Amino acid sequence: MIRRVLPHGLGRGLLTRRPGTRRGGFSLDWDGKVSEIKKKIKSILPGTPCDVLPDTSHLPPEHSDVVVVGGGVLGLSVAYWLKQLENRRGGMRVLVVERDHTYSQASTGLSVGGICQQFSLPENIQLSLFSASFLRNINEYLAVTNAPPLDLQFNPSGYLLLASEKDAAAMESNVKVQKQEGAKVCLMSPDQLRNKFPWINTEGVALASYGMENEGWFDPWCLLHGLRQKVGVFFCQGEVTRFVTSSQRMMTTDDEMVTLKSIHEVHVKMDHSLEYQPVECAIVINAAGAWSAQIAALAGIGKGPPGTLQGTKLPVEPRKRYVYVWHCPQGPGLETPLVADTSGAYFRREGLGSNYLGGRSPAEEEEPDPANLEVDHDFFQEKVWPHLALRVPAFETLKVQTAWAGYYDYNTFDQNGVVGPHPLVVNMYFATGFSGHGLQQAPGVGRAVAEMILEGSFQTIDLSPFLFNRFYLGEKTQENNIM
């Protein structure tokens, strides 16, 4: 019935419109019309021609309810969930400010793209499980009419974590926690490992944990693109250079004076110019990844005597990590999971053509300089290849094809994310510091931050161990399984 009505009603209507009338929205030659109007005004007005009707399309809006600093997967996830969970459709204006629209240094695009549930903290496991179900149903969450369905290129091959003698007990208790939370992980002895994956050399391996479902790797660009194209959010390319705050001195219940700040303006500076736009806002979300500490410093977080709450800085700093791609024709077959060795080296298959990619986290003393994203090939030769060749003998004859480097937004305190509001700067919320597992926790964290903003507390997954307060109180929420 509807099928027959629509083409008749609208089709005939469109054909009988006369040319020159406005169809819903701007007419098609808006830029041409504007330049004509400008010429007319210039010819009419006396004196030197000034720039009338300046073009401000590149500037962000002057008012916005929420400003998300950082347009990576975490920032976009928070923006997406804010729009999903708002009470009225179109009730919130969300502005995402991203400094580099090519995402050349953003951790999201340079990431290996893995998702796994093999953590020691229950909150991390739940976040990862939710993210897996988000990715599985991504075409329901991020459906946009007229756009083709998203293909995440998800490889459900799982993660295989190897543990030496001294880590075996920790791994067993971790797997127990993971099973309790609902992750499908199983423990394997060295004999079972050799049966299942004959290309592994089990020397030095006491125990292994293998994720069977909801684990693997996917294409992070696709997720980023899917989140971006879901309409409803304003995007702006610019850099946040200043927060204009106002302070209030208040008395706590213990009769202490405390200065609470709130940000009411964000200055967004345009690329390659001094032009900036002050954006009035109610809430600021710090999702700037490796550069979150700079944004926090702009808001005055950490400016105070050390040891006090005012003096507690955001302990997130950029750490450079390398990823190498190599070709090995005799390497492990199609069933290869992402293998994480006892030494910290990891690798996974890439595509059908015997290519593999992997790397290793350097020790604290060998941390490379994060000033640029140059790749150090000697690191592979000396620190990664020997471990890979030991674990998989076929990798003795590999050939490195390419390599790249990316940043971890590394939380130097306890390598877990910072989520939630700051106690003193009342309208800044953090969603950063995930030290290498931000991509796999992004959907869950985005939802948690949106719940915190809209409801005032975490509703689905309780991320209270990840609040900012722990840096001041000194309570570490340590995660033991970091790659």
Partner 1 sequence: MAAPWVSLRLVAPMWNGTRGIHRLGGAVVPEGNQKKERKMLQFLNNHFYDVEALRGYLLQREMSKVHLKNRSFTWLEEQHGPYSAGAFFILKQGGAVKFRDKEWIRPDKYGHSSPEFWNFREVPVEAVDASDCEINYEGLDNLLLLKELQSLSLQRCPHVDDWCLSRLYPLADSLQELSLAGCPRVSERGLACLHHLQNLRRLDISDLPAVSNPGLTQILVEEMLPNCQVVGVDWAEGLKLGPEEQPQDTASPVPA
Q: Contact positions toward partner 1, by CB under 8 A? A: 2-3, 6-7, 10-11, 23-25, 136, 139-140, 143, 145-146, 148-149, 151, 153-158, 212-214, 216, 333-335, 352-353
Nearer to partner 1, 25 or 307 (CB): 25
Q: What are phi and psi of 204, to 5 degrees?
A: 85, 0
- For partner 1, which is the closer residue by CB, 183 or 279? 183
Which residue, 139 or 459, is less far from partner 1 as judged by CB?
Answer: 139
Q: Which is nearer to partner 1, 213 or 275 (CB)?
A: 213
Q: How far is the CB of 115 from partner 1 (least distance, A)?
A: 12
Give the shortest CB-188-to-partner 1 separation in angstroms. 13
Closest to 281 (Cα-Cα) out of 423, 68, 480, 465: 68
Alpha carbon distance 126, 143 (integer Å): 24
Nearer to partner 1, 14 or 50 (CB): 14
| E strand or H helix at 221 | helix 220-229
CA-closest candidate to residue 286, choices 314, 319, 258: 314
Say whether 6 sits in a helix, a strand or coil. Answer: helix
For the CB of residue 160, give the shortest distance to partner 1 in the complex, in Å: 13
Residue 336: CB minimum distance to partner 1, A: 8
Q: Are 426 and 262 in contact (CB under 8 A)?
A: yes
Smallest distance from partner 1 to CB 136, Å: 5
> Which residue is associated with the tokens 């098609």?
28
| E-strand stretches of 328-376 | 338-340, 345-350, 355-360
- Over the Cα atoms of the chain, what is R_g? 26
Q: How far is the CB of 89 from partner 1 (least distance, A)?
A: 10
Largest CA distance in the chain: 90
Between CA 250 and CA 244 the distance in angstroms is 20
* Pairing assessment for the beta strands 418-421 and 399-411 based on DSSP bridges: unpaired
- What are the structure tokens assigned to 301, written together? 């977080």
> Residues 74, 76, 78, 80: is their CA dihedral positive or negative?
negative
Nearer to partner 1, 150 or 398 (CB): 150
Please enumerate in sequence order all residues whose Cβ is within 8 A of that of 11, keeping only pairs 6 or more positions apart, or say none: none
The residue (of 198 and 305) whose beta carbon lies closer to partner 1 is 198
Phi, psi dihedral angles at 347 (to 5 degrees): -155, 160
Q: How far is residue 333's CA from residue 310's CA, in Å, rounded to a whole number?
A: 54
User: Least Å distance between CB 139 and partner 1?
Assistant: 7
Pairing of strands 399-411, 355-360: unpaired
State the minimum distance, in angstroms, from the CB of residue 138 to partner 1: 11
- Based on CB atoms, which residue is closest to partner 1, 199 or 234? 199
DSSP 265: E
Nearer to partner 1, 337 or 421 (CB): 337
Is-contact 408 435, C-beta < 8 A? yes
Closest approach of partner 1 to the CB of residue 198, in Å? 11
Q: What gap in Å lies between CA 66 and CA 279, rounded to an integer?
A: 10
Give the nearest distance from C-beta 95 to partner 1 in angstroms.
22
* Cα(302)–Cα(120) distance, integer angstroms: 30
Contact indicator for 153, 331 with CB cutoff of 8 Å: no
- Rank residues 233 and 431 by Cβ distance to partner 1 and give the closer one: 233
Measure CA 188 to chain center. 32
Min CB(330)–partner 1 separation in Å: 12
Q: What is the DSSP letter of 210?
A: E
User: Of 111 and 245, which CB lies nearer to partner 1 in the complex structure?
Assistant: 111
